[in-house]
Amino acid sequence: MLAGDLGRGIGVIGAGYVGLTLSVFLASKGVRTICVEKDEVKAGKIMRGVSPIHEQGLPELLQRVVRDGMLEARTEVGDMLERVDTVFITVGTPTGSDGAPDLTQVKEASRQVGEAMSTSRTATPLIVVKSTVPPGTTWHVVRPIIEEASGRACGDGFHLCVNPEFLREGSALQDTMNPDRIIIGAKHSEAAERLKKFYEALYHPSKIPTLVTTPANAELIKLATNAYLALKISFINLISQICEATEDGDVGVVAEGLGLDPRIGPLFLRAGLGFGGSCLPKDLRALRWFAASRGLDTSLFDAIIGINRAQRLRVVEKAESKLGGLAGKRVAVLGLAFKPGTDDVREAASLEIIRELLARGAEVRAHDPAALDNARQVIGESVIYCHRVEDCLNGADLAIIVTEWPEYAALDPSTLKSLMRNPLIIDGRRILNTRRLIEAGIRIHTVGLHNPSA
């Protein structure tokens, strides 16, 4: 087993999508892992081997590593530094005021690690910032906080690295097991070397492309990656609007042709209802805020954000015009999670669309295979939440596909027709077979398609 090469043990602070997945993976590789989660409910679940999040493969592995005693969850850092050599900081960095990232959780975690270090006998622990932060944060915010709380100097009493995370929700465990690149930012080569060796041992025999650079570059690589992905999505969504206005236009075919150009590539060219989730919108805002704070041009970032919002509102406009007004109309919203495979509704297209539908007087029924509870916490009781997709569609004047869960693609046209009061569908994610639905007598508007029938 590799555990010996990976040190005595690993600490992880913050058991969200990133921290919990990392903890479970490390523990499954035979590394004793201590996961600190300040939310008592979440921590309690993890202690019992129950996953607080919906991620493929995670519940089974979590149960196993907790049963085997490889993963310990707790709510305080406590004496963790006595038992681990490396600590990953994986706390949240939500958007704060003015689009600036709110670094409260990062600062608190840094202080807690520093305090634990001040009484610890561990000589030079390695602290790794995995949270997504703006350039300069690790060196100019995290380092001084740890130094002050610990009474130790960086590079001597402890080592510090930035190591951004690139996992995708919905395949978080797979992505953590098989990362396509490792980015390490450090001021001291010893710190970078330690983290590099750690990953070599963890992923042995695979060789993962690894880039070692400065902390600020590493931080910027993460933000720039997400901004670029958001750019691709907004670009293809703008093209999808043009397709709708073009005779025989189909953005799927246009994207396929675009993707054949090796300089462009086929990925992230799926038109739909735009990007959401906990990363792309917030990281784009963080980069925009950083550029604005340095007096730089932000117009490209503004356009990406603007197109994303417009793409969602267009669907509601379309619904209103198709139904001749939304007041009193029953709308079935299929999908609440920001993408399939997750229960995360942070910045999901569904939230904005539902808010608009309600504001225009519609009666909204919503279905999602995983995210009903999370959505209810955000939206409240103004929506009827349905556990069965059939209940959601029953008596509806319109159904909108908002998340591309596979079960929606498999919906039978005749069932749809018999359940709905008015068989009209807006396919916001381009997953339905338009021809089959039209043949079954259903009117359908597909995003990015010239839709003469709907």
Ligand X SMILES: NC(=O)c1ccc[n+]([C@@H]2O[C@H](COP(=O)([O-])OP(=O)(O)OC[C@H]3O[C@@H](n4cnc5c(N)ncnc54)[C@H](O)[C@@H]3O)[C@@H](O)[C@H]2O)c1
Q: Which residues bind ligand X (CB under 6 A)?
A: 13-19, 36-39, 42, 90-93, 105, 108-109, 112, 131-132, 165, 167, 169, 278-279
279 a catalytic residue: yes
Residue at 206: amino acid letter: S
Question: Closer to ligand X at the Cβ: 109 or 375?
Answer: 109
Question: Closer to ligand X at the Cβ: 169 or 397?
Answer: 169
CA distance 138 to 68: 35
Q: How long a stretch of residues is the chain?
A: 454
Crossing angle of helices 58-67 and 40-47, in 10° steps, is 70
**Enclosing H/E stretch for 86:** strand 86-89
Q: How far is the CB of 176 from ligand X (least distance, A)?
A: 10
Catalytic residue selected from 161, 279, 386, 392? 279
Are β-strands 398-401 and 424-427 bridged in parallel, bridged antiparallel, or unpaired?
Answer: parallel
Question: Closer to ligand X at the Cβ: 308 or 434?
Answer: 308
Q: How far is the CB of 283 from ligand X (least distance, A)?
A: 7
CA distance 182 to 166: 9
* Other residues' Cβ atoms within 10 Å of the Cβ of residue 123: 10
Q: Tokens for 454?
A: 């709907």
Question: Closer to ligand X at the Cβ: 339 or 445?
Answer: 339
Q: How far is the CB of 63 from ligand X (least distance, A)?
A: 19
3-state secondary structure of 220: helix
Question: Closer to ligand X at the Cβ: 231 or 432?
Answer: 231
Residue of minimal Cβ distance to ligand X = 16
Yes or no: say if 60 and 25 are a contact pair by the CB < 8 Å rule: no
Instruction: Identify the CA nearest to 451 among candidates 195, 219, 246, 261.
Output: 246
Yes or no: say if 149 and 111 are a contact pair by the CB < 8 Å rule: yes
Q: How far is the CB of 107 from ligand X (least distance, A)?
A: 9
Q: How far is the CB of 95 from ligand X (least distance, A)?
A: 10
Q: Tokens for 195?
A: 């983290």
3-state secondary structure of 425: strand
Question: Closer to ligand X at the Cβ: 16 or 413?
Answer: 16
CA distance 243 to 450: 6
Residues 6+ apart with CB under 8 A from 279: 132, 226
Q: How far is the CB of 169 from ligand X (least distance, A)?
A: 4
Q: How far is the CB of 82 from ligand X (least distance, A)?
A: 18
Residue at 316: amino acid letter: V
Q: Tokens for 398?
A: 């319109």
Q: How far is the CB of 109 from ligand X (least distance, A)?
A: 4
Question: Closer to ligand X at the Cβ: 211 or 242?
Answer: 211
**What share of residues in the chain are helix, strand, coil (percent, to 5)?**
45, 15, 40
CA distance 75 to 151: 24
* Range list of β-strands (E), 186-249: 210-213
3-state secondary structure of 129: strand
Question: Closer to ligand X at the Cβ: 92 or 114?
Answer: 92
CA distance 226 to 166: 9
Q: Which residues carry out catalysis?
A: 279
